[in-house]
Chains A and B, each alone.
Chain A
């Protein structure tokens, strides 16, 4: 087994474990920590594929900024341990079968030998950062700017809602 493959399996196993523990943990902080493990492991997997820029951004944005905000809010609210409840009806009759179907279709894709799965491992591009930036700011500049506008609207909406509660 080559070292790269070994690192892949370690990271993949950690990601899955983190995801399972995210669902099973009782305390919100432990769940958030598990989610951070998942994010960092995914970044490691991107790194193995040669997508260095995406890996770093994954950690900076998801592992850093967003999850710090989660933890910050949980700490501020001083949220305690949650109680486990039974499955809701929606989860029991719609969620579980859908999750199983998704897993099955993904597994079928992976097992079937095809170009779509193998192509991803060879994406070692020397100037990946430049290509991503020229794609973002040339070809997809309008969708990109529209998305940022959408986020701005969301921030302002949150501000308006927060101000209204004060009165």
Chain B
């Protein structure tokens, strides 16, 4: 048994990593819906979900159960094969995109079955191109769902979204070229590592959004970032660019005719795409797993930021949980709070673990900032009209991102950076 495991260690570790990542991502997805509803509710002076479990924390589980047990009718006159294929395609592609994202630079400090275990599923030299390839294919999930449903609302939603995604793909790709010119590679890991040589060693100055390197090059990619994030929001069909599913015009757009778990698959695909875009924005423009602080010994106290965040939060969760009457409140919230407190205290006690956790902490923290930004935009901005959408894509974002490429290339050549 052990011999078999060791012989096929590479494949077994890969499969386990894939399963683990899918589990984590699907859980994060579920709680992202909770987070979104809470944030939007508070933006609108409401409470949001708060009936199922303390703070509505069990709402995602209730929603998931509802999706599983709902009746799943197939409308008359649909193209059966494509109708069933579309949600699978959408979900599979958005989950595949996560496979090329590197979450931390170092392998786990111990070996499993004699192999180093890195915190990524695969780390190809052309990671960014693979992500764009998957983005290019993910149009099909939406477009085919709209076409196969045999419904006018769905068809219009599908057509709109394919036009939108084709248009914004150009700006999305163009806005990244500036970063690629500076990094000289498609590998996501190298793009992050290249952002580490900051002016005076102050971490945040090296990130591509500011890009002040210690070779004296100063080339902020802020224009590129704004173009990138705007077109990424459009590419993931999120507000204010959620025209494919504009409720007031198209009922629910391309997924009008989908119910039960097939609808949930579109839903999960959309949220996974949000996570992927947040990862990508972090990697390309905000230094990935790099800390924003200098790495000199004076600044070593920044290593305790995860603990400083976790310990008070854990204590607060314990205090908050004790106020509830139910078993969930009395038992589970204090247990979670105690786990957080324990984790925070453990990180102080074990410097080796703390060192290892730093990149992961910064990466997740940045991802959550972008996820919050997504929801913030949804809660704040009104939906664009269709002609406005096309104008923004073709007449504003595309020329601006092309100009960004030309300026970046010009500065790199003039300063003799390469």
Q: Which residues of A contact B159 (CB under 8 A)?
A: 72, 75-76
The docked-state distance in angstroms from the alpha carbon of A126 to that of B126 is 11
Tell me what chain A mostly uses at the interface: helix, strand, loop, or mixed. helix
Determine whether the beta carbon of A60 is less than 8 Å from that of B129: yes
B24 at the interface (CB under 8 A from A): no
Q: Is the CB of A64 within 8 A of B186?
A: no
- Nearest to B134 among chain A residues (CB) is A59
Fill in one digit per residue for B6-45: 1 if any A CB lies within 8 Å of its CB, else 0: 0000010000000000000000000000000000000000
A65 touches B136 (CB 8 A): yes
Q: Please judge, given known A-B contacts A75-B143, A75-B158, whether A63 and B126 are in contact too, CB under 8 Å.
A: no
> How many Å lie between the Cα of A29 and that of B132 in the bound state?
24
Say yes or no: A53 contacts B162, CB within 8 Å.
no
Complex interface bits, B121-147 against A, C-beta within 8 A gives 1, otherwise 0:
000111001101101110110011011
Smallest Cβ distance from A62 to chain B, in angstroms? 10
B284 in the interface (beta carbon within 8 A): no
Nearest A residue to B85 via CB reads: A33
User: How extensive is the interface on chain B, given as a class?
Assistant: 20 to 34
B222 at the interface (CB under 8 A from A): no
In the complex the two chains form, is A57's CB within 8 Å of B162's CB? no
Residues of B within 8 A of A68 (CB): 136, 139-140, 143, 162, 165-166
How far does the Cβ of B278 sit from chain A's closest Cβ, in whole Å? 22
Minimum C-beta distance from A7 to chain B (A): 12
Proximity bits, B60-96, A CB within 8 Å = 1, else 0: 0000000000000000000101100100000000000
> Contact between B140 and A72 (Cβ–Cβ < 8 Å)?
no
Judged by a CB distance under 8 angstroms, whether B5 is at the interface is no
Question: Residue on A with the closest CB to B170?
Answer: A65
**Are B133 and A129 closer than 8 Å at their CB atoms?**
no
**Contact A71–B11 (Cβ < 8 Å):** no
Chain B interface helix/strand/loop/mixed:
helix
CA A69 to CA B137, docked complex, whole Å: 12
Residue of B nearest to A78 (CB): B155
- Are B129 and A56 in contact, with the CB atoms below 8 A? yes
B78 shortest CB reach to chain A, Å: 12
**Does B309 belong to the interface (CB within 8 Å)?**
no
Q: Which residues of B contact A36 (CB under 8 A)?
A: 137, 140
Let me know if B11 and A52 touch, CB within 8 A.
no
Q: Are A64 and B139 in contact (CB under 8 A)?
A: yes
Please state if A63 and B125 are interface contacts (CB–CB under 8 Å): no
State whether A56 touches B162 (Cβ < 8 A): no
Do B126 and A129 have beta carbons less than 8 Å apart? yes
**A29-B79, A56-B126 known; A63 vs B133 contact (CB < 8 Å):** yes
Q: A126 CA to B187 CA in the complex, in Å? A: 12
Separation of A71 and B158 alpha carbons in the complex (Å): 11
Q: Are A64 and B147 in contact (CB under 8 A)?
A: no
Which A residues are in CB contact (< 8 Å) with B81?
30
Q: Which of A38-76 contact B (CB under 8 A)?
A: 40, 43, 52-53, 56-57, 59-60, 63-65, 68-69, 71-72, 75-76
Q: Mark B158-177, 1 if CB is under 8 A from A, else 0.
A: 11001101100100000000
The answer for the CA separation of A4 and B51 in the assembled complex, in Å, is 52
Q: In the complex the two chains form, what is the Cα distance from A36 to B163 in whole Å? A: 18
How far, in Å, is A65 (CB) from chain B's closest CB?
A: 7
Establish whether residues B140 and A129, one from each chain, have CB atoms under 8 Å apart when the complex forms.
Answer: no
Shortest distance in angstroms between A36's beta carbon and chain B's nearest beta carbon? 7
Complex Cα gap A107–B82 (Å): 35
**CA A40 to CA B138, docked complex, whole Å:** 13
> Cβ of A60 and Cβ of B132 under 8 Å apart?
yes
Take A27-B79, A29-B82, A56-B133 as given contacts and tell me if A3 and B143 are in contact as well, using a CB distance cutoff of 8 Å.
Answer: no
**Complex contacts, A3 vs chain B, CB 8 Å:** 11
Shortest beta-carbon distance from B233 to chain A in Å:
19
> A71-B162, A76-B159, A129-B186 known; A56 and B140 CB under 8 Å?
no
* Interface contact B125-A129, CB-CB below 8 Å: yes
Once the chains are docked, how many angstroms separate the CA of A71 from the CA of B136? 13
Q: Which of A59, A75, A126, A129 contacts B147 (CB 8 A)?
A: A75
Question: A residues near B, CB below 8 A?
Answer: 3, 27, 29-30, 33, 36, 40, 43, 52-53, 56-57, 59-60, 63-65, 68-69, 71-72, 75-76, 126, 129
Q: Which 5 A-B pairs have the closest CB atoms?
A: A64-B136, A56-B129, A59-B133, A52-B126, A60-B136
List 6 interface pairs A-B (beta carbons < 8 Å), by A numbering.
A52-B129, A60-B132, A63-B133, A64-B133, A72-B163, A76-B159
